[in-house]
Amino acid sequence: MYDDILIPLREILHNNEIRICSNPECKKIMVEGYVIENGMEYYCCEECLHTEITEEEFIELYDDGEGDSYYTEWDYCIHTLKAINKLVEEAPVLQAGELGIVPMTNINKLNK
């Protein structure tokens, strides 16, 4: 029903490598955070990470930097990010719908 918004948005997110927190209670747009198993899941903060993965499990996955799970900060274009954030903010369907994305509230504090 909302495919005309969802499909282009998914594409924009994908093309710009923008990640959404995997915690279903969170789903924030991320500019930094945890990558689990090379992108199987993403978590924006420790609290979200620990909804699925314990500290011990993460340490094991991280494997002293040898594993495919780690914390990182991504390169992103602030203009693209702002445009996407605005799109989500102005489309409640994207926040409540299948994607359920939560817009960033601190986006204006990012400086890039």
Residues of span 1-20 touching Zn ion by CB under 5 A: none
23 touches Zn ion by CB under 5 A? yes
Smallest distance, Zn ion to C-beta of residue 44, A: 3
Q: Which of 100, 87, 86, 89 is nearest to 26 (CA)?
A: 100
**Interactions with Zn ion, residue window 44-73 (CB under 5 A):** 44, 48
Distances in Å between the Cα of 2 and the Cα atoms of 5, 56, 64, 96, 99 are 6, 41, 43, 12, 11
21 forms part of the interface with Zn ion (CB under 5 A): yes
Per CB under 5 A, residues contacting Zn ion are 21, 23, 26, 44, 48
